[in-house]
Amino acid sequence: MGWKARKTKFFNIIAFYFLSLAECSWAQNEYVDIYIRDDVYVNYTTLIAGRSPLAVDDFHSQFIRRDVIDMVLLHKALLLGGFDKPFKYRPGNINFRDTNLLEQGKQLLSFDTFWYEEALDKKDKLFISDPVVRKGEFYAGLYYAKTNTKMAKLSSINDLQELTAVSSNRWVVDWQTLSNLPLKRLLNETTWAAQAQMVNKQWVDFMLIPLMPHAGNDFQLAGISLVSHPHWVVLLDSSRHFVVSKLHPDGERAFLAIQRGLKKLRLQGKIVDAYRQAGLIPDLNQYRQLNVKPR
């Protein structure tokens, strides 16, 4: 074989090698790995029932919770904004807030919205979307044990001086909101399930949970039975946003799609409608805001 033939064969081999690498890389990146809590994933897939997220507008369901609505709306925004790369879900018992997957670029985005203060703290590594739940829209109910007569008799903010509440100081907006109330005591407990159990056993009087219209605003789970106050809600005075990793290869493209999609959903009125159905935005003709700022 002459030198020219050997040279041609050599370059053909090199070209084939790099082409194979490119094809392999493309194959590995034709979907996006998404790590997600298993309970959220189960509720989401049950609600979707094989449909496109764009076809889901009815949120009067037992599977509805705030993080499930977040997930549906984010999918809608991505699709409306032109990002249709499929996700490969990896559900598990993961506390997403305790991981650095987003900051490291190993996770594209969070289906769970962030409070603005929480997102702003990581703005060097995260894109922050326009508000999904706007400031002044997010309310929570006061949930307590059915037999707690002190809570049932709550008639004004002054009555809180005889009551106790529980939350986590890691939840910045929730903690600050409760800290601003004239409570007898505010207890710090990092686990949500433990908080609910403390309220159920009346070791603490109440906790904040978004209203649940689909369940008659009652909370029932594994021996825990809580009810929301029929007249009072508390405003969590901040906004919630989607966040996208700046370090993920698809980060900027996904973020721009979300922004475009959210604008369309906002104009269609579908964001407010979804959260209103879920109870985050209550009918203030039926409820009164407990933590009204004095004028």
- Looking at the structure, do residues 104 and 162 belong to the same domain, yes or no? no
Count structural domains, the chain. Answer: 2
Output the pLDDT for position 24.
Answer: 39
Q: State residue 70's pLDDT score.
A: 95
Q: Identify the burial level of 87 via C-beta atoms within 10 angstroms of its C-beta, where 0-12 means exposed, 13-18 middle and 19 or more buried.
A: middle
Whether 286 is covered by a domain: the verdict is no
Residue 5 counted as domain residue: no
**Residue among 229, 224, 233 nearest 280 (CA):** 233
User: What pLDDT was estimated at residue 2?
Assistant: 54
CATH classification at residue 39: 3.40.190.10
Q: Are residues 129 and 250 in the same domain?
A: yes
pTM for the model stands at 0.84
Q: At what angle do helices 66-80 and 270-278 cross, to 10 degrees?
A: 170
Q: Give the Cα separation of 62 and 47 in Å (integer).
A: 9
In a domain, 147, yes or no: yes
Residues 153 and 231 in one domain: yes
User: Is residue 206 situated within a structural domain?
Assistant: yes
| Residue 295: inside a domain | no
- Asked if residue 212 and residue 84 are part of one domain, the reply reads no
Per-residue confidence (pLDDT) for residue 238, from 0 to 100: 96
Residues 64, 182 share a domain: no
Cβ neighbors of 120 (< 8 A, separation 6 or more) are: 128
Same domain assignment for residues 108 and 180: no
- Note whether residue 19 is domain-resident: no
Residues 113 and 249 in one domain: yes
Indicate whether 3 belongs to any domain.
no
With contact defined as beta carbons under 8 Å apart, do 78 and 251 qualify? no
What pLDDT does residue 23 have? 39
Same domain, 112 and 254: yes
Residue 70 and residue 120 in one domain: yes
For the chain, residues with pLDDT lower than 50 are 3-28, 98
Domain of 213, in residue numbers? 139-235
